Structures are given as structure tokens and as C-alpha cells.
Amino acid sequence: MHFWLVLWLIVAAAMIIAEMASLGLTTIWFAGGALVSALAAYLGAHWSIQVVCFAVVSVVMLVFTRPIVAKHMIKAPEKTNVEGLIGQRAVVKETIDNLRSAGVVTINGLEWSARSTDDEEIETGAAVEIVEVKGVKLMVKKVNKEV
């Protein structure tokens, strides 16, 4: 009896540690199954009953409770690569004029609305550096070609 009790407690601890390392809400349910099996071992159940308890409880918890918990706990990350544009250079396709709310730059083959960070008018063909992204507009500054 003591062997199986200790074994199930070790399995439960290992599953909890694995869950803390992965945060995937997968192994925690097996820890629950191991704890139920430890209780069965403590109550003197045969090892085969303990294994069945482990399997049934783990699968039931995984299938029925994981979706509910995941819905409330797992937040999908924002899927955007726009932050990767900051610091890159673009070419002005249409003159950037903050007063007229006009300006377009091209970067990676895509056109973006653009505004100057220092309210400077930037002519077509000029090279600019992307400083910030505000909504769907790139905030840019003119790049000195005298580098």
C-alpha cells in the first residue's frame, strides 16, 4: 500500500512541476488523476483499480474541464508583426504633410499612411526611418543621407 501511495504522490508532484514549467493546462489534469489514485491507494484499492482511476479521472478532467478553464485563463497573444517595422527605413511615395493629413511610404512592397514625427514636410522619394506605429499610420523621421 505505501509503495503505491508514494508512487502516485510522486507522479502528482511531477505533473504539477511539469505544468508550472509549461503552463499549457495539460499535465495538471493528470496530477488530479494521480491524487485520486493516491487516495485509492491509501484506502487499500488494488493497483489495477488505482491505474483505472488515474486514467479515467485524468481523461475526464482533461476533456471536460480544460476547455472551460482555458476559455477563462488562456489569452491569445496579439498576432502582429507591425512592431518589427520600427527602426526600418522606408521610401516616401506621396509627400508627407501633417497639416493636410497626407503622406504614403512604401516598405517591404507595402504602402502605409505616414506622418512626420517633427511636423516636417517630407518630399516624395526621400528615405525615412520608422519611429512609431500609431494605429494604421507610421510615424517617420527623415533620414540624413550624409552618413
pLDDT bin (cut points 50, 70, 90) of residue 147 is very low
**45: which DSSP letter?**
-
The string over 50-71, giving b where at least 16 C-beta atoms fall within 10 Å of a residue's C-beta and e elsewhere, is bbebbeebbeebbeeebeeeee
Bridge partners of 112? 105
First and final C-alpha spacing in the chain: 78
Who has greater pLDDT, 81 or 28? 28
Same domain for 8 and 54? Answer: yes
Same domain for 99 and 52? Answer: no
Element (H, E) at 34: helix 27-42
Q: Say if strands 102-107 and 89-97 run parallel, antiparallel, or are unpaired.
A: antiparallel
Domain of residue 93: give its range.
82-142
Nearest to 118 by CA among 131, 106, 135: 131
For the cut 90, the answer to whether the pLDDT of residue 119 exceeds it is no
High-pLDDT (> 70) share of the chain, %? 92
**Cβ–Cβ under 8 Å, residues 93 and 80:** no
Q: What is the CA radius of gyration of the chain?
A: 29
Same domain for 62 and 123? Answer: no
Same domain for 7 and 66? Answer: yes
Q: Which three three-digit cell numbers place residue 71?
A: 476559455
Who has greater pLDDT, 60 or 77? 60
Same domain for 11 and 68? Answer: yes
* Domain-located, residue 114: yes
* Domain-located, residue 147: no
pTM: 0.49
pLDDT tens digit sequence for 13-47: 999 998 888 877 778 889 999 999 999 999 999 99
Instruction: Specify the pLDDT at position 139.
Output: 95
